[in-house]
Structure 1
Amino acid sequence: MRLVQVLIPEGAREHVLETLDDEGIDYAAFEEIGRGDFEAMVQFPVPPSGVEPVLERLTDAGIREDSYTIVLAPETVVSQRLTALIERYPGLRISREELYARAEDLAPANSTFFAFLVLSTVIATTGLLLDSAATIIGAMVVAPLMGPAISASVGTVLDDQRMAARGVRLQVVGLLAAIATGAVMGWLLQFTILIPPDLDILTVPQIVERTNPNFLSLFLALGSGLAGAISIMRGSGSTLVGVAIAVALIPPAATAGLGLAFGPFGVAVGASVLVLVNLLAINLSALVLFYLAGFRPLDADQVEGVRRSVVSRIAVIAVGIVVLSVVLGAVTWTTFQTESYAAQAQNEIQQEFDRVDAEGVELVSVEVAYEPVDLVLGNEPEVDVLIGIPRDVQAPPDLAQRLDDHLTEQLGRDVVVRMGFVEAEVSESEPPDPPFGRVAESSPTSLADRRLTTVAT
């Protein structure tokens, strides 16, 4: 429920009160003893969805734009007379005036916005380098990106070019500032003892996760934008939804900055594409939802211009998303291909060993090194196979080459097979461990310390 307070200009009192009577609204009117431009103040309760149509009727009755209208959200309204009013104005959508006010409140002053943005980026960059999801989530609580994303869409549908331009400007400049902050922080940390020397950021899972954008990231951004618009329209959960919007933007922006600082150009490019796609998707979903919800300017002469502006902006954003979706589609397809190859290669090698059934010979592990970039560049997959074999058993001859030929024939792609053999002895004491259980926990790259014999093709 909303409590609306309106100052009635001189000469409009009778028309205003008649309008409220026609609407079936209970009201209280008070004499105005202020500066003399107004003759009375009237206040009345009305459901949130009824504020906009009632104010439009009052405007026709003589409430000028230079008057004062205050819309309050009371904690509780106790009355049995509200049922008919609620039935007359069903729905949960807030008024145009409330939407505009909330959009302005969500876009803070520039100094406040950039202070929180830089701090959230610093926290997110720290979380990325620490591979700490909890720290990254904490950064999202600080990030102030929901306000500009919402105000840009609200300004567009309500024909406030100043608000729309400021929302777009804060988003673009803010994300560039976030990338720059991540780059500067990453560059400075390389001269300290806070991170390992010669750190390869591609070994950090939280960073790698944001360097290969696919279509799932697009769903995240679209969902965040819709959630933000709904939370503003319904007046609930805007703070938590702001976290969802920040999740889609700040971590990949910080990742792009780290890519610039540490050198892998592909990291910066992949994360930047993710930032741009998410930014466009959030704005698109919010803009479409606000327009479909029926928000329009008060002046009817502006409605047609707003419709053209909304359509043109939706078209531009959609084209941008389609163009960037080529990158998303390529990453999604190459990731599917490489992961499918890895799973098939592991399965084929396991089946081959099951067929051989050599006594005492055990397949310990199979690791396939094949990334999307390898598929694009035409690099051959690398398959590392670790074989456990008793000391008194002869290793099968040419096993690496046989597996190479088998994989090439079955999967239709040239491959490099590296094979390591580890000798093991198992005591007869009770209870025995699995013959190669402890060895299976090691990766092929760490087996050099075990003095293995390696056969490569």
Structure 2
Amino acid sequence: MLHLRLIVPSDRTGEVTDLLEGTVGAAHLVVLPGVARDPVGDVVLCDVAREAGDELIGALRELGVAEYGAITVERMDLTLSAHADRAKEDAPGEGADAVLWEELTDVTHEESTFSITYVAFLTVATMLAACGVMLDNAILIVGAMAVGPEFGPLAGISTALVQRAPRLVWRSLWALVGGFAAAMVLTAGFAWLMDLFGLFNASMIEAPRPNTAFVWQPDWMSFVVALLAGIAGTLSLTSAKSGALIGVAISVTTVPAAANAAVAFSYNDFNQMTGSIQQLLANLGGIVLAGTLTLLAQKALWMAALRWYAAHPKPPAAADA
């Protein structure tokens, strides 16, 4: 269930409550007259089944609640109520299959910001991966993959393409390209500094490195893995199963490829640098493609499910159970 807290001017409360009362899947409607101070108005509380949430939030936006008041949505982990159980039964579709597009857009927008913190995380992850490739240490590579924050902008691009939001596309693309560029430049300087202290040397980059050689040797399997990771990552965002993102992070060779490209550049090994950049682009492209196709499929399947439920409404006895 989702919990909605709305601030509504008193003269518009009637139409908002009419909308909530007429929404299949809504329950626990509460109106607190005149308690809101900024903006001034009534506070309206309501719980709604996740599968009915996106349509209801869209309808509230059409009423202008987001402009003249406020819409706050919270996820509820546990609701013990016969009314809530009935609301979930009445709502069409399954909650796990529903996509809250407003929430997805907001999350990806926030995680697609070119900020100091974002660049710092990406840079540290790339430096960790540089140590991993130079030492041929797979554990460091996995750790660096888990630290990297690059899935946010990748998901932002996919979401913006599906939602046809060009500003978010460019914002996410800038975070992705600018972030990797900054991280790779700083990692090249880090490699030079490590060489100065005798911790890195040319023989390390030229060694066979069987555990990490895949980083600069892209093939079709790299692209396939990126596609699968993009599907899993997108599903984890839309279904709120954030734990799956860790598995996604350690499945793709984005940060390690960027790290190896930076280190190879610092040692003038342009063959490895080129291969690493190809690996990076293959992974980034595969994730964006898979994420976009997954969101389009989810959108189409959800609309088809709604049409099916509209054509096969539940009988009154089932709805009252």
Q: TM-score range by the shorter chain?
A: 0.7 to 0.9
1:86 pairs, out of 81, 85, 88, with: 88
CA–CA separation in structure 1 for the residues paired with 2:132 and 2:284 = 22
Q: How far has the Cα of 1:177 moved from its partner?
A: 2.7
Counterpart mapping for 1:122-201 below 5 A: 122-195=127-200, 198-201=203-206
2:233 is aligned, of 207, 228, 232, to 228
Decide whether the 8 Å contact of 1:182 with 1:256 is kept in 2: no
Larger radius of gyration: 1
Q: Map 1:328-367 to 2 at 5 A.
A: none
**Are residues 1:265 and 2:270 paired?**
yes
Separation (CA, whole Å) in 1 of partners of 2:279 and 2:30: 54
Q: Structure 2 CA distance, aligned partners of 1:219 and 1:267?
A: 21
Provide the secondary structure at the position in 1 that maps to 2:228. helix
Deviation at 1:188, TM superposition (A): 3.4
Q: Secondary structure at the match of 1:43?
A: strand
C-alpha contact (below 8 Å) 1:50/1:95 kept by paired residues: no
Please tell me whether the aligned partners of residues 9 and 64 of structure 1 are also in contact (alpha carbons under 8 angstroms): no
1:241-266 residue CA offsets vs partner (Å, 9 max, x unmatched):
55236x42001111112221223321
1:69 counterpart letter in structure 2? I
Contact 1:121 1:181 in 2 (8 A): no
What is the match of residue 43 of structure 1?
Answer: 45
Quote how far apart the aligned CAs of 1:179 are. Answer: 3.0
- 2:303 match: none
Q: Please tell me whether the aligned partners of residues 127 and 187 of structure 2 are also in contact (alpha carbons under 8 angstroms).
A: yes
State the SS of the aligned residue for 2:108. Answer: helix
Q: 2:119 aligned with 1:114, yes or no?
A: yes
1:292-318 CA deviation, whole Å, 9 max, x = no partner?
Answer: 3229xxxxxxxxxxxxxxxxxxxxxxx
Of stretches 93-102 and 120-129 in structure 1, the one that deviates more from structure 2 is 93-102
Which one is further off, 205-214 or 72-81?
A: 205-214
In the other structure, the counterpart of 1:3 is: 3
How far apart are 1:59 and its partner, in Å?
4.3
Aligned to 1:15: 15
**Cα separation, partners in 2 of 1:203 and 1:82, compared to 1, 3 Å:** same
Q: Which residue of 2 aligns with 1:243?
A: 249
Which AA in structure 1 matches 2:152? G
The 2-side partners of 1:54 and 1:139 are apart by 40
- Corresponding residue pairs, total: 294
1:197 deviates by 6.3
**Residue matched to 1:34:** 36
How far did residue 211 of structure 1 move? 2.1
Dislocated runs of 4+, deviation >6 Å: none
For normalisation by structure 1, the TM-score amounts to 0.59
**Paired letter, 2:289:** L
Instruction: Find the counterpart in structure 1 of residue 209 from structure 2.
Output: 204
- Cα distance change on mapping 1:36 and 1:126 into 2, 3 Å: closer
SS in 2 for 1:6: strand
The question of whether the paired residues in 2 share the 8 Å contact of 1:9 and 1:62 is answered with no
Match of 2:100 in 1: 95
Q: CA separation in 1, counterparts of 2:227 and 2:235?
A: 12
2:92 is matched by which residue type in structure 1?
A: Y
Instruction: Give the equivalent residue in structure 1 for 2:279.
Output: 274
Displacement after TM superposition at 1:36 (Å): 8.0
Whichever residue aligns with residue 214 of structure 1, its letter is D
**Percent identity over paired residues:** 23
Q: CA deviation at 1:15?
A: 2.0
Question: Contact 1:212–1:270 at 8 Å: present in 2 too?
Answer: yes
> Greater relative contact order: 1 or 2 (C-alpha under 8 angstroms, separation 6 or more)?
2
Equivalent runs, 1:50-69 vs 2, <5 Å: 50-60=52-62, 63=65, 65-69=67-71
Q: How does 1:289-300 map to 2 (within 5 A)?
A: 289-294=294-299
In 1: Cα distance, 2:200 partner to 2:139 partner? 19
Confirm or deny: 8 A CA contact 2:30 2:46 kept in the other structure. Answer: yes
Q: Do the aligned residues in 1 keep the contact of 2:33 with 2:43 (CA within 8 Å)?
A: yes
Change (3 A) 1:145 1:36: closer
Partner of 2:254: helix, strand, or coil?
helix
Q: Please report the RMSD computed on the Cα atoms of aligned residues, expressed in angstroms.
A: 2.4
**Using the alignment, how far apart are the partners of 1:36 and 1:270 within structure 2?**
56
Structure 2 unaligned regions, length at least 5: 301-321
Name the SS of the counterpart of 1:291 in structure 2. helix
- Distance in 2 between the 1:183 and 1:201 partners? 16
Alpha carbons of 1:193 and 1:37: their partners in 2 closer, same or farther (altered >3 Å)?
Answer: closer
Which residue is 2:110 aligned to?
A: 105
- Unpaired runs of 5+ residues, structure 1, are 296-457
Instruction: Give the TM-score normalised by structure 2.
Output: 0.82
Aligned-pair CA distance for 1:172: 1.3
State whether residues 7 and 41 of structure 1, in contact with CA within 8 Å, keep that contact through their aligned partners in structure 2.
yes
2:293 aligned partner? 288
The alpha-carbon distance between structure 1 residues 59 and 191, as it changes in their structure 2 partners (threshold 3 A), is closer
For the Cα contact (< 8 Å) 2:108–2:155, is it kept in 1?
A: yes
